[in-house]
Chain A
Amino acid sequence: MILKPRLNDVQIIGYYLGKIIIGVGLFMLVPVICACALGEMNPLLDFLIGIGISFLVGFVLTTICFTEKDLNWMQGMIVVSLCWLFAMVVSAIPLYLSGHYHSFLDSCFETMSGFATTGLTLTQDLDHLSYAHNLWRHVIMFIGGQGIVIVALSLFVKGFSGAFKMYVGEARDERVLPNVIHTSRFIWLVSIVYLVLGTLALGITGLLNGMKPFNAFFHGACVFMAAFDTGGFSPQSQNILYYHSLPFEIITIVIMFLGAINFKLHYHLWTGNFRELTKNIEMRMLSFTVTFTFLLVAIGLYKLKVYPQALMLFRKGFYQLISGHTGTGYQTIYALQFNEWGDLALVGLICAMALGGAVCSTTGAIKMLRIGIIFRALKEDVKRIMLPEKAVIFEKFHHIKEIFLEDKQVRSALLITLCYLLLYFGGALMGMLLGYPFLFSLFESTSAAANVGLSCGITSVTMPAILKITYIMQMWIGRLEFMSIFTLLGFITAAIKGK
């Protein structure tokens, strides 16, 4: 028998949802300051309207649903899944008012792409977008990369026991420090320190490349936010190709890589434990999968003679591959140029996108820890067949500490992997139903569901609305890693069918 949710559940969900929406509204003060400083009047009004609406919704929810009760697991998960949808709508208002979006759906697509750190964009005439709106696109990515709830937890909530439930709901099941609030504050500290260093590095490179000083540092900050949070938005329509600079590409590769590794690993590196880099199962898997998928891409490009020189092949092939593997989505080629790449190189890139980076990082997709666990389980089973029946077989792996492989971990890793594969193929099926070729549909669908942002040209203003909605759903589900979405579906089913 399914039990109908009580009014109390709705009240608690509404209250915390309201708080998070107010938090999103407060973040709009960043572009407001930018608009005031640069004298951009229209963007200022757009953001004031955005803040007004988010505060209105937030205050109404917190006042009507006021409660002092703490969240349980179900409520925590539902708050997380719903707050991503509410944040998407509220943040889309200033973007829509800018006039650079064909419809409100397009601006919602943009904000979901930002929050989920995907990087697919439907902005029209991006090269004439205001600084304030451009900054907002990148701030959204920064908030989404850290996790919307983490932001609320670390800045607007003093501490409560339901925090961990929402933290887990946002696909972060590992705590760097014993306390969740301290963990989220550590994540912020890491991000801010890297933000300063990354902006300086990119800004100085921009200056040396001949950019105007303000533009160099503005672009530096924006590109850092999008690269570290493995997002992929860029201030200009040409993406990274705009800069025509090898040093710029190298720095973004380093930042993308830093964004793709586990925050726990960052903590160990910060505390001087560099051996963890070589011992960690995720880092070993990452180096193996990068090598393997790059080989596929390189052979594919070489066979078709896409690039006349080996160095050129390496520069273009490796950049797109690292960008896809880390889930960033930065491109140094045009979307239509993927047509030249051929099937083998595209399959290599799709595999890289589908695998993703480390757990407890800002990347999406299946992730290295799960792949590592599945490989270890396979190894254990092969050993079991090869060795005598009485032999005691156990498998262990190193992830911050030595961990014995358990069936529970293998089951969980396999389930999530299966869900991701279904999500990738579901989106591809929708693409094919709408008339796009199989490989391109799979490419774009994997890119959306794995929160990557590379595009082979399907994502455009002219694509059907149903495909836009499909990609929004894929980005949302892929970013939250299924559990909170399944809980929300269960809650809705219980509300309809429950007694």
Chain B
Amino acid sequence: MFSPHHPVQLVLGLIIWSLFFVAVYSGLSVGCAFAPPSPEQGALTWINASVLLLMLATMIYLLCNAYYCWRARLPSKSSDNQGQPQKVREFIARIAASEYLLAAVATLLVGLPSVYLPPCV
């Protein structure tokens, strides 16, 4: 796991969101191509359930990371600062926490339509 002050944290939340997005779109396409549920089932299908589960898992992971970075924004007694000035560490941790949070919101918004829309129609 990366330190909350590692610069990769500035983009990691959104990379995870992107992977979630690609997974649900491509998974939906493949699912509809090879094992399409009956349209009569509406939104109560294995595809919708998979999207929702993936959404929940991704959101929980993103929110945990948001908390992890948010906690790390304050100065610590540890001397392991990798040569970074405290203000830079704080800057990275704050932005990373906000991005994880926004990525979680984005995950929720993208996944939510699977509650009520049929997958392959």
A and B pair up: no
